Structure 1
Amino acid sequence: MPPLTLAHQHLPGVTVLAVTGEMDATNRAQLEGYLRDVRREPPQRLVFDLSQVPFMDSSGLHVLLTCTTDCLKKGGAVHLAAVQPLPARLFEITGVLSHVPVHGTVEDAVTAALTSSERSI
């Protein structure tokens, strides 16, 4: 399994987080630590670029949902972009799609994050 690679880009009003590799129990702490380090105050909108995430288990899902809940409580929002088939199936089964906006491309997610109002989880 390739290691999890994380990168981010702060844009005006939104941070894009690019995730590469499988999101699972083996790298949950790495992802949580990275999110703590890159999130800005005041709360802003986050876009997760999941185009290079072929697999996600419940641990990865938990990190995304915890981040989403925290962002919403602080007035921010989370959007997901370019979700691959297996993670998309996990989102469908768990009902995440009704609580976290998912977009086909990073560009669509950034636009939506900057123009839409927050949703509650």
Structure 2
Amino acid sequence: MTSLTLTHHNLPGVTVIVVSGELDITNDTQLPAFLARVRRRPADQVVLDLTELTFMDSFGLRAVLICHADALARGGDARPAAPQHGPVQVLAVTGVDAHLTVHDTVKQALLVAMAAAESAI
């Protein structure tokens, strides 16, 4: 099994998940399950901090998309942020980045998520 570390912190109306290591076929179910456990409210905005994600295959991409779909279904949104070289390529080659807003920085994603959380109140 490849190494994946998931940590989180909660802000008002926003759940931030830091994804570190490799997200692939051996551990892809961990990310959606982790989100379900750590989200304070179902409608929370979600920021997926991908700064420390070193590898992502198509199953890892599927996990990100499941988190996004789940957040949308509950009235929130999931915003991938700061992906590095390998994961950026997966997002671009698959065309997902044309349909899902991928933020260049975690700060950008947080600003958008915080504004969305504020307007939902």
Q: TM-score, normalised by structure 2?
A: 0.87
Q: CA RMSD in A?
A: 1.8
TM-score using structure 1 length: 0.87
Q: CA deviation at 1:115?
A: 2.5
How far is 1:39 from its partner?
2.2
CA distance in 2: counterparts of 1:98 and 1:40, whole angstroms? 29
Q: Distance in 1 between matches of 2:113 and 2:31?
A: 21
**1:47 aligned residue:** 47
Structure 1 position 114 matched with structure 2 position 114: yes
2 CA distance for matches of 1:22 and 1:65? Answer: 16
% same residue: 45
| 2:60 paired residue number | 60
Separation in structure 2 between the aligned mates of residue 95 and residue 13 of structure 1, nearest angstrom? 29
Report the counterpart of residue 96 of structure 2 in structure 1: 96
Secondary structure of 2:59's counterpart equals helix
Q: What does residue 69 of structure 2 align with? A: 69
- 1:73 deviates by 1.7
Residues 6 and 84 of structure 1: CA distance in aligned 2, closer, same or farther (over 3 Å): same
Which residue of structure 2 aligns with residue 25 of structure 1? 25
Distance, in Å, in 2 between the alignment partners of 1:113 and 1:73 is 16
- Structure 1 unpaired stretches of 5+: none
1:102 Cα deviation after fit: 1.4
Distance 1:105 1:28 in 2: 23
| Alignment deviations for residues 19-49 of structure 1 (CA, whole Å, 9 cap, x no partner) | 1101001112322321221123231110001
